[in-house]
Amino acid sequence: MPRYHFDPRAHEEQLIPIIRAIQAADGVDAASWNLLVRQFPKEGKGAFSKSEVIRGFRYFAEQYGWPDDRAFVERLRMKPIRTASGVAPVTVLTKPYPCPGKCIFCPNDVRMPKSYLSREPGAQRAAQHDFDPYAQTLGRLVAFHHTGHRVDKVELIVLGGTWSFYPETYQIWFIKRCFDAMNDFVKVADLANLEEGMLPKGKVSFETLDEEVDGSDFDRTYNQVVSDYLRQQLDGALLDDTESATWEELEAVQLANESTVARCVGLVVETRPDHLTKDEVVRIRRLGCTKVQIGFQSLSDHVLEVNRRGHDVAATRRAVALLRQGGFKLHAHWMPNLHGSDPQSDIVDFGKLFSDPDFRPDELKIYPCSLIESAELMQVYERGDWRPYEEDELLEVLTACMLQVPAYCRVTRVIRDIPGDDILVGNKITNFREVVEQRLAERGERSRDIRAREIRGRKVDASALRLQEIEYATAVGREVFLQFVTDNDHIVGFCRLSLPDRAVFIDEIADSAMIREVHVYGVVVAIGEQRPGKGQHLGLGRRLVERAAELAVAAGFDDLAVISSIGTRDYYRGLGFVDGALYQHRMLPPHAAAPGLINS
């Protein structure tokens, strides 16, 4: 988190001509931007950043009679891809804590939650605040704001270790503090300066922990080092007693978030298949969770065993079935090049993700195994029993895999963002997805996953959109993926509808059809704002929901539930849904036909 000590008043003489030049220009490309900031240097020598110019515009807007900052900010928005999918992603990490897993490929950086490395970008931000959830969340919101991104719709992504292994009181407190930060954003968003002292720190700093884990020869394990350090810092405890909250306190801040500026439209946690039970599924839903990242890693019992994963494929099947019954979005992690696998078996293994109805995730991260010095895989590597794939081998594996991804799945990552210096051996190319897509193009092929087809910031002609409906079997029944696409197959919006063929274990939705996700693409725009040609305001979400209701009626359901996030509850109320204990519901009319289903 940077220190926000920039004071626009001290730079008015230079900022005003920069701002006026931007206002007068048709557009600001990299060359013109560099020329402009060199013409009006900061303090006679340095260059202003785009965030500083945006903050200057906002500070002087009333004084100079400038209109709202939307058009100005759009010309300067930094890294627009971050919010081009329709939401502002805010990633936060839990504190280091013992992990139930013993995976040999997993890094053992004791300054981080298990499997993360201290030099990963998100991890660095978390460590700067000693893993305090409030500071991490508010810091990201303010950073988005200062770089020209809207944060009306926030997807909160909670990473770090195994979420389900943290004590319940810590889970509640962590999520509550994230919601506190979103609710407080309105109080600080327009400040020109945000002093670092305004943001809290965690109770334990891991910067002073100088012990390391050696993957070649474990003298002490990650769990031993982290547990001993926590007890040393907290008088024998693993968690500080102030890092707890009640369900009632969480519900209060969730209620406030329904109508605040930065609304949580998605909440994601990550966990292991063997730690998902019926009680855990209900608990994470009560926290407000709508999506779960779950580590499949492999669909081979042999590979899981030799990598000491700690569970078999059957556990993954059970976990997926429980999450599907709860209506959650499924974001799977899968790892090629694990110990015990080879390129050809990896391609076959990947195919099971989508050929087997028990899996079929909605989103996917592909993380080729790399050797990190602190991982126990070091011992296997030194024995000569494992090697990383050569670049051409990995390219062939990933190319074959991407061709197998169906249109209803979004591949969010192809390579994990690990700094090259941390990788002892293995792939260090961070833009491998681009390499894969180039190889596919050379062969006259392309991937059809959602991310490859997103409309992003392009203008949309609503009259030219086509509604496609793709049906497939799952572990709990039938799934219908409804998508609005352009003539060239760009996806503008979609809905995931689950039609269970058996009663689920949660009484509230035992006999309900379930909308698991409605998403309309386009750069994030303010809630209630009308912007012609932008996908998020063409009424596509409503049309998707109405079509889902028709399909649910045709399938014989009289109740349509939705796993709404906290910040979308009011939206669904406007579509006729009423609040239940964990879900929102809409009563359906008697059975009627629903023609037009496209099977795929």
The pLDDT tens digits along the chain (600 residues) read 344 567 888 888 888 888 888 777 766 777 777 888 788 888 776 788 777 887 787 778 778 777 766 677 766 655 555 455 568 899 999 999 999 999 999 999 999 999 999 888 889 889 989 999 999 999 899 888 877 788 899 999 999 989 999 999 999 999 999 999 999 987 765 555 555 456 788 889 998 898 999 888 888 999 999 999 999 999 999 989 899 999 999 999 999 999 999 999 999 999 999 999 999 999 999 999 999 999 999 999 999 999 999 999 999 999 999 999 999 999 999 999 999 999 999 999 999 999 999 999 999 999 999 999 999 999 999 999 999 999 999 999 999 999 999 999 999 999 887 777 788 888 888 889 999 999 999 999 999 999 999 997 777 888 889 999 999 999 999 999 999 999 999 999 999 999 999 889 999 999 999 999 999 986 434 444 444 444 445 789 999 999 999 999 999 999 999 999 999 999 999 999 999 999 999 999 986 555 555 444
Q: Which two tokens mark 570? A: 């009011």
Q: Which of 338, 300, 337, 335 is nearest to 316 (CA)?
A: 300
Who's near 468: CB < 8 A, 6+ residues apart?
482, 483, 484, 485, 598
Residue 232 CB coordination number (10 Å): 11
Report whether 382 contacts 216 (CB < 8 A): yes
Report whether 366 contacts 403 (CB < 8 A): no
Over the range 199-213, which residues count as b (16 or more CB within 10 Å of their CB) and which as e? beebbbebeebeeeb
Residue 548's φ and ψ, nearest 5 degrees, are -60, -40
Q: Which two tokens mark 547? A: 């079509």
Report whether 374 contacts 107 (CB < 8 A): yes
- Give the pLDDT confidence score for residue 526 in this predicted structure: 44
Torsion 118-111-4-191 (CA) sign: positive
Cα–Cα distance for residue pair 101/115, rounded to 1 Å: 10
Run of H or E residues at 541: helix 540-554
Task: Identify the structural domains of the chain with CATH numbers, from first to last.
Answer: 8-76 (no CATH), 290-453 (3.30.750.200), 454-599 (3.40.630.30)
Q: Report which DSSP code applies to 46.
A: B
Report whether 405 contacts 411 (CB < 8 A): yes
Which of helix, strand or coil describes residue 454?
A: strand
Cα–Cα distance for residue pair 536/525, rounded to 1 Å: 8
Cα–Cα distance for residue pair 435/438, rounded to 1 Å: 5
Give me the amino acid identity at 221: T
First to last CA, the chain: 46
List strand residue ranges (DSSP E) for 182-300, in order.
263-271, 291-297
Cα–Cα distance for residue pair 75/20, rounded to 1 Å: 13
Report whether 353 contacts 296 (CB < 8 A): yes
Cα–Cα distance for residue pair 576/586, rounded to 1 Å: 6
Q: Which of 244, 134, 120 is nearest to 185 (CA)?
A: 134
Report whether 509 contacts 327 (CB < 8 A): yes
Q: Which of 428, 313, 336, 289 is nearest to 321 (CA)?
A: 313
Which region holds residue 292: left if phi is over 0, alpha if psi is between -120 and 50, else beta?
beta
Run of H or E residues at 147: none
Who's near 135: CB < 8 A, 6+ residues apart?
1, 129, 181, 199, 200, 201
- Give the pLDDT confidence score for residue 20 in this predicted structure: 82
pTM, entire model: 0.86
Give me the amino acid identity at 108: N
Q: Which of 409, 515, 521, 546 is nearest to 465 (CA)?
A: 521
Give me the amino acid identity at 63: Q
Who's near 579: CB < 8 A, 6+ residues apart?
569, 573
